[in-house]
Structures are given as C-alpha cells and as structure tokens.
Chains A and B, each alone.
Chain A
Amino acid sequence: MGNCVGATWLPLEDDGVHDPLAPGVRLLQQPAEALGRLTPDSAGNYVRWVEALDKGEIKPREALRSKAAPRFRDDDILLNLKGGMPIVRFPHRAHTLWLDCSNCHDHLFKAVAGANKLSMFAILQGEQCGVCHGAVSFPLTECTRCHSVARSAVNGKPAQAAQGGALVPAAK
C-alpha cells in the first residue's frame, strides 16, 4: 500500500510528542535533515533501512562492549503455506544485519522452520513479528512486504527453508 508522493517529515515541535516549549527541542536534529538523505520508502520512517545500510549511506556500529564476532545468517524461510494471503517470506539476512540471534531465538521464535504457531491476530497485537513491525520497523500496513510470495509459486508443503540454512561469516 502506501502510495509514495513525496514523504513529509513533520518538524519535532509539531510531532505531538515533543513539547514545543521544551528548551531542548530546538537543539535536536530535525528528522527531515537526517532521513531525507537516505533511500526513500513510502511508509513508516520513510526510509528503506536495509537498502540504506547495503548502499553504505549509513554505517551503524555493530558492537560496543561485546568482543564476539557479529552473527549473520542469510537463508529465507517461507511461512504460512496454507492460508488465503500470499505466502510470507522471512529473510534472515535483512534481520541479522541489524539484530542478534538472541533478539528472536528462542524467546520470540523457536529456531526450527515450521515449529512456531504464527498468526496475524497475534502480530496485530504487537507479538511475534509485531514486536518490531508496527513499532520500529516498517509498519504492518505494508502487507505485501511480508506476504510476498505468490501461492502458485510453491506447492503447499509445511513451512520450509527456501535455501540451505548456512551461517555466513561476518561481512566486514
């Protein structure tokens, strides 16, 4: 959805959260200044965060105190092979660029394809994928970004890994 017609970033003093009278507000960076330079999106923050990272527009740090090498994984998992909506493709790569395995495994999802009972109802209540999507990451109104694989492209097997589940070495 989200039909892009030039994103608008409201100034902080009008965002409904900041107090226009607070002395700090005029010292803070305006979102338009920072986000207007990044690959645009049509919803949420109006930034394609994965692309912005891939293109090197931003270089967020991966660790502060931890000395362990960051962990990545690049397989896709197909979820929901029997509903009416297009199938959900879960990309580990886009997630592990930003997140650590422990952010999801095992408190949000068991690390076995097909082992989780996922539901749109729970997601819309801010559970499962909805912990981040709808709060910090692209919003739940972007149905087709998750429901992205035509049902005709897959022949109705239970949730499966679309590619081999290889752990890839840290890309530096």
Chain B
Amino acid sequence: MAPRPTTGPIGRALAALLTLLFVLAFLDIEPARAEYGDVVINNYSDAAGMRPVVFPHWFHRIRFRCKVCHADLGFQFKAGGNQINMAKIIDGQFCGACHNGDIAWSVENCNLCHSAKPGTVTQVHESTIQKLAAPAEPARK
C-alpha cells in the first residue's frame, strides 16, 4: 500500500504547502504577470557601497544554454554561492568569461550589472519557493 500523502507530520506539512501553492496560483491569475526569476547577488556590494548585482536568466538564456555557464564555466546552482567578486571577474572568471569586451561588453559598465535596489537580499526573486517562504507579502502593489 502506498502511504497516504495526507497523514503523518510530513503529509500534513505537504498538504499545507500544496494548499498554499494553490491559493498563490489563483492569486497570480489576475492580472497575469510574468516572473523574471532574476538572481540578485549581494554578498559584498552593499558593504562596498555599490548597488547589488542583478543577473537576468531570461536575457542570457536567449543567447546561451544553461550548460555554457553551469557546466563549461562552472557556475554552481546557488544564488550567491559562487563567491564572485571584481578581482575574479577582471581575471576572466564567472561574468568575466564573457564581459571582457570580446563576447559581451566589458567590466567598465559598472551600472549595467550593479542595478538593484540597495539592500536587496541575495536570492532568486519572484520564484515559487520565495513566495512560499514569504506568503504574507503581497505579490504586487
């Protein structure tokens, strides 16, 4: 017999999460609005007096498959998990593998990367998981 998903502590937590998810899904229907899933990287920026960095997946995946960054260039699947800093970028690692004036515009365009609201936390924004973690926050103004 397969365990019934709605019994036991895990089952109850799962049922609660799923209910929440259904509610969120319906809240989202009107007006239909896209989620960008941008990664904000802010391990050091705020402290250094720079705006945090916004990395847009939607923009980059039009030009590169996931495997280019996540296999070939070695980006780990974790927002903020790669300990990226300017020295590494200038050295040709991470963003610097492309933002070198050859494949894409180079590092002197500080403002194109450092464009988030100061104080924005390091994470994927507008993800299902983020909404589950902060369900009280209204999805839009």
Contact = CB atoms under 8 A, between A and B. Distances in A.
Interface size class of A (residues with CB under 8 A): 35 or more
A17 B125 contact: yes
B136 interface: no
Contacts, number: 190
A28 interface: yes
Interface of B: 2, 5, 10, 13-14, 17-18, 21, 24-26, 28-38, 40, 51, 54, 57-59, 61-68, 70-73, 77, 97-98, 103, 109-118, 120, 124-129, 132
Given A1-B25, A99-B65, A124-B21, 19 more contacts: A1-B29, A7-B34, A8-B32, A15-B38, A16-B126, A19-B117, A24-B110, A24-B114, A28-B112, A45-B34, A45-B36, A45-B37, A46-B32, A60-B62, A83-B2, A103-B67, A103-B77, A124-B14, A124-B18
Contact of A22 (B14, B70, B98, B111): B111
A104 to B, nearest CB: 10
Contacts of B31: 5, 8
Interface stretch (A62-70, A109-117, A162-170): A62-70
